[in-house]
């Protein structure tokens, strides 16, 4: 679980609830985590003969927040017993791969004291432990960690004076805990170099009068050669860390204001979460266009993998949010990523790494001795749907022409081909929750929406034959949904149908994705009585036994399941889906009360920094799963924008009355 993520599309740094560095991704956002959460970049304070590390002393009162209009931390760490307070502002420089920390160190005591500030570093460069080198470089007065073409240079000053103490050593090897233990007596060994599982620690020492504060600057520069790292260090020293912090802050201020809209009807706190969500979305975008699902490497400690991948599904929703908020340039790079990763046959695989290579998967190529495509067809459909929405916002005709043949036509033709000959519905694939294989209502609805999108894009370019084919197929899919996927007995849409040797198998698990898909992609009008009944069934079933509020994904959801009394853990995304439906059907300001309640629910369960998780504990509301989850932030942005649009619409109608 992470409390804030800072990024510039090349260097991504994630901090935990103690304000400590737990993930460093470079040179891609989401690929090559050189800390991986296994190791810790410690912070400690030595004063009055006592050493106190954030990780070991629970008396530290630490709060991690995010600035309102910049992707920059606002962290306070106070120790009443030691009489010390630290205030941090952390940011990743927008132009170069440099992580910067400004730390105000205050002596809360009533006497003169020496306060020593320590930073310890444990890397897992290239995600492998060992064969690293850490050394003190006297020419640049820095500590450098390197392995091959990954170099991390660390520098720091206190009131303009470079750090005066250092040590390198080994950690997590032969019973050695790490070089930070060398600081326990307030003096470092100055061991100049170490290799293997190498670590390091640096110290900044100062004499403080009562209530006096001093300012420390710390930086970590990432590079692919030692020479490049030293050039970066020269740049930092020449420009000064404070200058870089100010210019990076100004960049984010300008970015937030460029995508600012009139958030009528929102509380200041709800509006603040909207801005933070936009920044966290932006932090998940790699410079090559890949959009990371989550940078939280803690997932690795509890499962077999992380969320540090580009799922076309999550990423398409995120691109949709960026476009809707006004940043079409960032979204554009994602579609270029898609153009380069789509298969020759016209579909997307399960997930990808940010360098456009294939990610890990649990979808097999064979089942019961027969070949099958290991795909989630909704991912292919959602990219097409999002691309059409991108064009609606950007009106970039040249980009559409560039994308049409290699992406639009290729994907749309696959959606046309990959269908059941009897029902007209999409053929079997894994559902959006990546668990079941068959023809799900959500995937079918997404395919309908994608084919309508492809038809509209074809119309824009005058491709009449393609337009006619895609519209005709879309209507066949829609007819199949209404005929085969509506469950009159339960007044909702079935979760999935699949063929077996004994005939079709109908999965009637209540799953909100079915009703949402039919609504979101326009299979039914938002005010259709059947759709209203479907949502009512889902809300009644999927909110039961959840005292913390929110909606589970589906019945008996066992992913991170905490309470048997609940159908599953509530998810931020699914709860906001319901808010979207309420917005679409609102006719008066009073109709939006429940939507505002949901926004407050999301706000209540965000961290102080604004970070949203994937899901929540149904009993306590504590965050569970990947944190932050980019999709959760995208869902909040999209829902807020739809709410604002509805508020304006209702306002016009009210004045007319």
Q: Hey, CA dihedral for 430, 382, 472, 340, is it positive or negative?
A: negative
The conformation of residue 41, written as its DSSP 8-state character, comes to B
Q: Please answer whether residues 477 and 453 qualify as being in contact, where contact means their C-beta atoms are separated by less than 8 angstroms.
A: no
**2/607 Cα distance (integer angstroms):** 10
Mean pLDDT over residues 126-150, rounded? 94
- Is the confidence at residue 482, as pLDDT, over 80? yes
**162/157 Cα distance (integer angstroms):** 4
Cis peptide before 495 (omega within 30 of 0): no
Phi-psi region of 369 (alpha: psi -120 to 50; beta: other; left: phi over 0): left
Q: Can you give the pLDDT at residue 68?
A: 94
- Is the confidence at residue 655, as pLDDT, over 60? no
**458/468 Cα distance (integer angstroms):** 9
Query: Could you tell me the two tokens for 499?
Result: 């063929």
- Is the confidence at residue 439, as pLDDT, over 80? yes
Burial class (CB in 10 A: 0-12, 13-18, 19+), 564: exposed
For residue 522, name the pLDDT band (cuts at 50, 70, 90). very high
Q: Return the number of other C-beta atoms located less than 10 Å from residue 393's C-beta.
A: 16
Q: Can you give the pLDDT at residue 501?
A: 54
130-139, 455-464, 499-508, 514-523: lowest mean pLDDT where? 499-508
Helix (H) or strand (E) holding 99: strand 98-107
Q: Return the number of other C-beta atoms located less than 10 Å from residue 257's C-beta.
A: 10
Strands 113-122 and 165-170: unpaired
- Is the confidence at residue 497, as pLDDT, over 60? yes
**352/320 Cα distance (integer angstroms):** 19
**299/626 Cα distance (integer angstroms):** 7
Q: Can you give the pLDDT at residue 122?
A: 95
Query: Could you tell me the two tokens for 64?
Result: 């991690």
Helix (H) or strand (E) holding 624: strand 623-624
Helix (H) or strand (E) holding 641: helix 630-656
pLDDT digits (tens, 9 = 90+) for 70-124: 999 999 999 999 999 999 999 999 999 999 999 999 999 999 999 999 999 999 9
Burial class (CB in 10 A: 0-12, 13-18, 19+), 364: exposed
Query: Could you tell me the two tokens for 169?
Result: 């050593």
**546/544 Cα distance (integer angstroms):** 6
Q: Please answer whether residues 443 and 375 qualify as being in contact, where contact means their C-beta atoms are separated by less than 8 angstroms.
A: no
- Is the confidence at residue 57, as pLDDT, over 60? yes
Residues 6+ apart with CB under 8 A from 603: 269, 270, 273
Helix (H) or strand (E) holding 391: helix 377-394
- Is the confidence at residue 529, as pLDDT, over 70? yes
Mean pLDDT over residues 165-190, rounded? 91
Residue 448: closest CA among 420, 485, 412, 493? 412
Q: Can you give the pLDDT at residue 100?
A: 98
Helix (H) or strand (E) holding 585: helix 572-585
Q: Can you give the pLDDT at residue 32?
A: 94
Q: Please answer whether residues 179 and 168 qualify as being in contact, where contact means their C-beta atoms are separated by less than 8 angstroms.
A: yes
**286/167 Cα distance (integer angstroms):** 34
**543/560 Cα distance (integer angstroms):** 17
pLDDT digits (tens, 9 = 90+) for 289-327: 999 999 988 766 555 688 999 999 999 999 999 999 999
Q: Can you give the pLDDT at residue 657?
A: 34
Q: Can you give the pLDDT at residue 39?
A: 86
For residue 654, name the pLDDT band (cuts at 50, 70, 90). very low
Residues 6+ apart with CB under 8 A from 26: 10, 11, 12, 32, 34, 97, 150, 222
For the chain, which domains are there? Answer: 4-255 (2.70.98.10), 259-359+373-656 (1.50.10.10)
**Mean pLDDT comparison of 501-505, 527-531, 651-655, highest-scoring range:** 527-531
Mean pLDDT of the chain: 95
**584/568 Cα distance (integer angstroms):** 26
Q: Can you give the pLDDT at residue 502?
A: 58
383-397, 498-512, 575-589: lowest mean pLDDT where? 498-512
- Is the confidence at residue 67, as pLDDT, over 60? yes
- Is the confidence at residue 451, as pLDDT, over 80? yes
Higher pLDDT, 432 or 175: 432
- Is the confidence at residue 175, as pLDDT, over 80? no
Instruction: Give the residues across from 120 on adjacent strands.
Output: 201
Q: Can you give the pLDDT at residue 350?
A: 97
Q: What is the pTM of this model?
A: 0.96
**334/289 Cα distance (integer angstroms):** 4
Residue 21: closest CA among 199, 220, 226? 220
- Is the confidence at residue 173, as pLDDT, over 80? no
Q: Return the number of other C-beta atoms located less than 10 Å from residue 296's C-beta.
A: 27
Mean pLDDT over residues 396-420, rounded? 98
Cis peptide before 503 (omega within 30 of 0): no
- Give me the phi and psi of 337, to 5 degrees please: -60, -45
Burial class (CB in 10 A: 0-12, 13-18, 19+), 297: buried
Higher pLDDT, 176 or 496: 496
Residues 6+ apart with CB under 8 A from 651: 264
For residue 268, name the pLDDT band (cuts at 50, 70, 90). very high
- Of all residues in the chain, what percent carry a pLDDT higher than 70? 97
Mean pLDDT over residues 590-598, rounded? 96
**386/315 Cα distance (integer angstroms):** 10
- Is the confidence at residue 186, as pLDDT, over 80? yes
Q: Can you give the pLDDT at residue 298?
A: 77
Q: Please answer whether residues 354 and 345 qualify as being in contact, where contact means their C-beta atoms are separated by less than 8 angstroms.
A: no
Q: Return the number of other C-beta atoms located less than 10 Å from residue 556's C-beta.
A: 11
Instruction: Give the residues across from 187 on adjacent strands.
Output: none
The total number of residues written for the chain in this structure:
657
DSSP readout, 308-354? -SB-HHHHHHHHHHHHHHT-HHHHHHHHHHHHHHS-TTS---S-B-T
Helix (H) or strand (E) holding 230: helix 226-239
Residue 171: closest CA among 134, 216, 126? 134
Mean pLDDT over residues 181-200, rounded? 96
């Amino acid at each position: 679980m992470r409390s804030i993520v800072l990024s510039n599309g090349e260097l991504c740094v994630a901090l935990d609830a103690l304000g400590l560095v737990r993930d460093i991704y470079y040179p891609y956002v989401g690929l090559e985590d050189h800390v991986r959460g296994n190791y810790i970049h410690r912070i400690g304070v030595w004063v009055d003969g006592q050493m106190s590390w954030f990780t070991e002393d629970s008396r530290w009162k630490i709060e991690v927040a995010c600035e309102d209009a910049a992707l920059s931390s606002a962290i306070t760490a106070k120790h009443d017993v030691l009489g010390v307070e630290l205030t941090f502002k952390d940011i990743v420089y927008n132009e170069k791969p440099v992580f910067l920390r400004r730390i105000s160190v205050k002596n809360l005591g009533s006497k003169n004291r020496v306060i020593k500030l320590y930073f310890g570093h444990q890397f897992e460069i290239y995600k492998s432990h060992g064969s690293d080198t850490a050394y003190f470089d006297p020419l640049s007065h820095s500590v450098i960690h390197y392995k091959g073409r990954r170099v991390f240079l660390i520098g720091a000053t206190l009131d303009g004076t470079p750090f005066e103490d250092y040590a390198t050593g080994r950690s997590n090897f032969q019973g050695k805990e790490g070089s930070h233990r060398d600081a326990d007596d307030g003096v470092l060994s100055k061991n100049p170099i170490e290799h293997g599982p190498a670590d390091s620690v640096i110290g900044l020492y100062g004499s403080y009068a009562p209530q006096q504060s001093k300012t420390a600057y710390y930086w970590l520069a990432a590079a692919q050669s030692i020479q490049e790292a030293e050039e970066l260090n020269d740049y930092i020293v020449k420009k000064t860390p404070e200058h870089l912090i100010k210019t990076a802050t100004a960049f984010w201020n300008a970015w937030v204001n460029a995508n600012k809209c009139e958030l009528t009807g929102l509380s200041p706190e709800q509006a603040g979460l909207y801005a933070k969500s936009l920044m966290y979305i932006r932090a998940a975008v790699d410079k090559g266009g890949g959009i990371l699902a989550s940078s939280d490497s803690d997932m690795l400690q509890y499962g077999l993998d992380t969320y540090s991948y580009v799922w076309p599904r999550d990423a398409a929703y995120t691109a949709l949010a960026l476009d809707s908020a006004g940043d079409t340039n960032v979204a554009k790079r994602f579609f270029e990523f898609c153009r380069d990763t789509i298969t020759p046959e016209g579909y997307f695989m399960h997930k990808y790494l940010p360098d456009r290579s294939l990610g890990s998967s649990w979808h097999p190529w064979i089942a019961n001795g027969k070949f099958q495509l290991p795909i989630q067809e909704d991912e292919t459909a959602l990219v097409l749907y999002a691309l059409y929405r991108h064009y609606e916002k950007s009106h970039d005709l040249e980009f559409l022409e560039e994308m049409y043949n290699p992406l639009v036509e290729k994907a749309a033709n696959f959606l046309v081909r990959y269908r059941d000959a009897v029902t007209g519905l999409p053929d079997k694939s894994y559902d959006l929750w990546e668990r079941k294989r068959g023809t799900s209502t959500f995937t079918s609805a997404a395919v309908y929406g994608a084919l309508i999108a492809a038809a509209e894009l074809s119309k824009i370019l005058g491709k009449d034959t393609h337009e006619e084919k895609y519209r005709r197929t879309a209507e066949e899919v829609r007819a199949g949904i209404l005929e085969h996927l509506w469950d009159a007995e339960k007044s909702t849409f079935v979760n999935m149908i699949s063929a077996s040797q004994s005939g079709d198998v109908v999965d009637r698990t209540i799953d909100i994705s079915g009703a949402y898909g039919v609504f979101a992609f326009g299979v039914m009008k938002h005010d259709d009585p059947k759709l209203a009944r479907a949502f009512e069934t889902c809300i009644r079933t999927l909110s039961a036994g959840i005292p913390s509020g929110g909606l589970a994904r589906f019945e008996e959801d066992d992913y991170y399941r905490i309470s048997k009394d609940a159908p599953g853990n509530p998810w931020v995304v699914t709860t906001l889906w319901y808010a979207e439906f309420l917005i679409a059907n609102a006719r008066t300001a009073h109709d939006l009360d429940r939507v505002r309640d949901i926004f407050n629910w999301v706000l209540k369960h965000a961290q102080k920094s604004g970070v949203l998780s994937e899901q929540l504990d149904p009993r306590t509301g504590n965050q569970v799963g990947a944190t932050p989850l980019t999709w959760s932030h995208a869902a909040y942005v999209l829902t807020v924008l739809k709410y604002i649009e509805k508020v304006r619409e209702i306002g016009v109608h009210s004045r007319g009355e």
